[in-house]
Amino acid sequence: MVEERGVVRLILCGNAGYEAEHTARMFFDRMQRVDLVPEEGDYLLVSAKPYALFVLLHRAKCSHWQALPTVPNCGTAEKEYDLCRMLYQFLQRETGIRPPWGMMTGVRPVRIIHDMRAAGATEQEIEDRFIQHFDCTQKRFEMARRIADLQRPVLEAAEPMDCSLYAGIPFCPSRCSYCSFVSRTVGDKSTRALVQPYVDCLCRELTAMHQLVEDCRLNLKTLYIGGGTPTSLSAGQLRQLMGHLSELFDLSRLQEYTVEAGRPDCTDYEKLCVLKEYGATRISINPQTFSDQVLKNIGRRHTAQDILDCFAAARKAGHQNINMDLIAGLPGDTVEGFRRSLETVISLEPENVTVHTLTLKRASNLVVEHRAAAYDDVARMLESCVLLEQAGYQPYYLYRQKGTLQNLENIGWCKPGYEGLYNIYIMEEVHTILSAGAGGSTKMVQPGVRHARIDRIFNYKYPTEYIDHFDTILSRKEGVKKFYAEFTSSNSQTVGQQ
């Protein structure tokens, strides 16, 4: 019988580290890392010493343990795998839990398939890697392979000097309980005073970004305005931002231009018309749930009817590529309630549907305040996604997060031909993502190389820091030119030697 999971303290000894910790967290949603064995309560001790591997679980006043000698002349990676494999099998026996992705801790399962195919692996070798090496379930592997097959032509069409541009709006009408993103609520007077200076700085940074694209001879493929909630800006501020982008870039050359219009409590018809007028080809309206009680539980200040009205307004404004998000496992939700929300989404016929599994993020109010959520039912909720397949949607991208309930996943579904390209590009690390705004992380990908080198440039995290230290942010972006200059120089030398 599976015991109820509670708080378990984790003690790592010797060379037990990152992978062992995340393997343990697959089995315990609420695990706390500590340095010493506690005098009371449940704990898990994991030790990797030069000659032995050891795990001990003390729970409900009982202790169980296992030890194995290390393999002589074994490399570091092999020792780490042996420890995680032993820990994984031990916790499987002790808890009765079978993680659907096995002992896989990475966030990009589909990337493994792409990389193995590029290296010449057979389909059987890829399947063995998932099923035998990671102990992934057949169902999850088939999902990952199916997504890899759909993504293959998108990735094959990518050019070495392609890039995407992200602009972040760190403001929301209210903070959702599950959210850990850097965002400020626009209802606060001090925050309202920040919004216009922030937009002014963001436009200046985007100007610098445009110059970088020109100087480095990059090909801009997608634009993405995310948040926070971009539509928490006024209609005038949206015109300023999107009008500036339309002046900087030739929008007709873009493959995709997404703007998140996720919250109906700040997204009206006028703003939806602005998004359409200034070039957005894809928007997100994200209900998360269609239960009024669950919306209240997570801190949303709108109703399910408001979501329906917002979607209708978006169609009226001319938007023909709309994504909608749902989250499985929200506080107070049920299997039946989640299924009803999914059925409601399907009835609206959006072009994209993204189904997330609730992730317990340490900075979120949900974790800080220890509110209960539908943890035990989340896997059954995701089973309802068969309704999406029956309605003609297909999975096109997948990622996982640390702290996701029951080691599950997030999957984007789309109608044929409506894949969210930015989502594929950023998740599979195909090309550089230039990022503007507070909390932005520019990720530079070495052009034209498999297993490419990736460098990052970070913006200041909070809006006040972003505004106050804006000149520093602009100077940091010079790192983009240095990054590409290095590869341009090395390529020139190679040509000269030939």
Q: Are 9 and 42 in contact (CB under 8 A)?
A: yes
Q: Which residues contact 246 (CB under 8 A, 6 or more apart)?
A: 278, 279
Q: Please say if the pLDDT value at position 492 is more than 80.
A: no
Question: Which residue would you say has higher pLDDT here, 77 or 470?
Answer: 470
Domain tally, the chain: 3
Spatial distance between the Cα atoms of 308 and 344, rounded to a whole number of angstroms: 9
Q: Which residue has the tokens 């290390």?
A: 70
Predicted structure pTM score? 0.90
Lowest-confidence pick of 346-350, 358-362, 490-494: 490-494
C-alpha closest to that of 399 among 375, 422, 377, 371? 422
For residue 487, the tally of other CB atoms under 10 A from its CB is 19
Model pLDDT, residue 405: 81
Provide mean pLDDT across the span 121-128. Answer: 98
The answer to whether residues 142 and 237 belong to one domain is no
For residue 100, tell me if it sits in a domain. Answer: no
Provide mean pLDDT across the span 458-472. Answer: 95
For residue 352, tell me if it sits in a domain. Answer: yes
pLDDT tens readout for residues 397-439: 999 988 788 889 999 999 999 999 999 999 999 999 999 999 9
Domain that holds residue 141: 109-154
Percent above pLDDT 90 for the chain: 78
For residue 484, tell me if it sits in a domain. Answer: no
Q: Which residues contact 91 (CB under 8 A, 6 or more apart)?
A: 23, 24, 26, 27, 44, 57, 97
**CA angle centred on 282, ends 428 and 434, rounded to 5°:** 45
The answer to whether residues 139 and 170 belong to one domain is no
How many Cα neighbours within 13 Å face the side chain of 403? 15
Spatial distance between the Cα atoms of 96 and 277, rounded to a whole number of angstroms: 55
Spatial distance between the Cα atoms of 31 and 29, rounded to a whole number of angstroms: 6
Question: What is the H or E stretch that residue 283 is in?
Answer: strand 282-284
Q: Please say if the pLDDT value at position 325 is more than 60.
A: yes
Count Cβ atoms within 10 A of the Cβ of residue 75 and give its class: 0-12 exposed, 13-18 middle, 19 or more buried: exposed
Model pLDDT, residue 400: 93
Model pLDDT, residue 191: 77
The enclosing domain of 298 has a CATH number of 3.80.30.20
The answer to whether residues 69 and 127 belong to one domain is no
For residue 143, tell me if it sits in a domain. Answer: yes
Spatial distance between the Cα atoms of 476 and 489, rounded to a whole number of angstroms: 21
Of 48, 68, 95, which marks where a domain is finished?
95
pLDDT class for 285, splitting at 50, 70, 90?
very high
The answer to whether residues 82 and 207 belong to one domain is no
In the 8-state DSSP scheme, what is residue 498? -
Question: Which tokens is 19 given?
Answer: 């992978």
For residue 496, tell me if it sits in a domain. Answer: no
Q: Which residue has the tokens 């703007």?
A: 259
**Dihedral, CA of residue 193, residue 196, residue 199 and residue 203, to nearest 10:** -140
Q: Please say if the pLDDT value at position 363 is more than 60.
A: no
In the 8-state DSSP scheme, what is residue 40? S
Provide mean pLDDT across the span 461-470. Answer: 95
The answer to whether residues 81 and 180 belong to one domain is no
Q: Please say if the pLDDT value at position 490 is more than 70.
A: no
**CA angle centred on 135, ends 132 and 140, rounded to 5°:** 110
Let me know how long the chain is: 498
Spatial distance between the Cα atoms of 471 and 205, rounded to a whole number of angstroms: 10
Question: Which residue would you say has higher pLDDT here, 26 or 206?
Answer: 206
How many Cα neighbours within 13 Å face the side chain of 292? 6
Is the four-CA dihedral 236, 164, 277, 181 of positive or negative sign? negative
For residue 387, tell me if it sits in a domain. Answer: yes
Percent above pLDDT 70 for the chain: 90
The answer to whether residues 252 and 381 belong to one domain is yes
The answer to whether residues 277 and 311 belong to one domain is yes
Model pLDDT, residue 31: 86
Average pLDDT, the chain: 90
Provide mean pLDDT across the span 70-99. Answer: 91
C-alpha closest to that of 454 among 477, 429, 424? 429
pLDDT tens readout for residues 234-261: 999 999 999 999 999 999 999 999 999 9
If phi over 0 gives left and psi between -120 and 50 gives alpha, with beta otherwise, what is residue 448? left
For residue 35, the tally of other CB atoms under 10 A from its CB is 8
Provide mean pLDDT across the span 209-215. Answer: 97
Q: Does 228 sit behind a cis peptide bond, omega within 30 degrees of 0 on the bond before it? A: yes
The answer to whether residues 244 and 375 belong to one domain is yes
For residue 206, tell me if it sits in a domain. Answer: yes
Spatial distance between the Cα atoms of 381 and 393, rounded to a whole number of angstroms: 17
The answer to whether residues 177 and 139 belong to one domain is no
The answer to whether residues 115 and 50 belong to one domain is no
The enclosing domain of 38 has a CATH number of 3.30.160
Lowest-confidence pick of 62-71, 276-285, 384-393, 399-408: 399-408
The answer to whether residues 203 and 295 belong to one domain is yes
Model pLDDT, residue 172: 84
Provide mean pLDDT across the span 179-198. Answer: 74
In the 8-state DSSP scheme, what is residue 187? T
Beta strands in 170-230 (DSSP E): 171-172, 184-185, 219-227
Provide mean pLDDT across the span 166-192. Answer: 72
Q: Are 150 and 417 in contact (CB under 8 A)?
A: no
pLDDT class for 186, splitting at 50, 70, 90?
low
The answer to whether residues 324 and 431 belong to one domain is yes
For residue 476, tell me if it sits in a domain. Answer: no
C-alpha closest to that of 403 among 26, 140, 89? 26
Model pLDDT, residue 374: 46
Provide mean pLDDT across the span 32-61. Answer: 94
Model pLDDT, residue 149: 98
Provide mean pLDDT across the span 6-24. Answer: 92
Neighbour-count burial for 221-253, b at 16+ CB within 10 Å, e otherwise: bbbbbbbbbbbbbbbebbebbbebbeebbebee
Model pLDDT, residue 366: 47
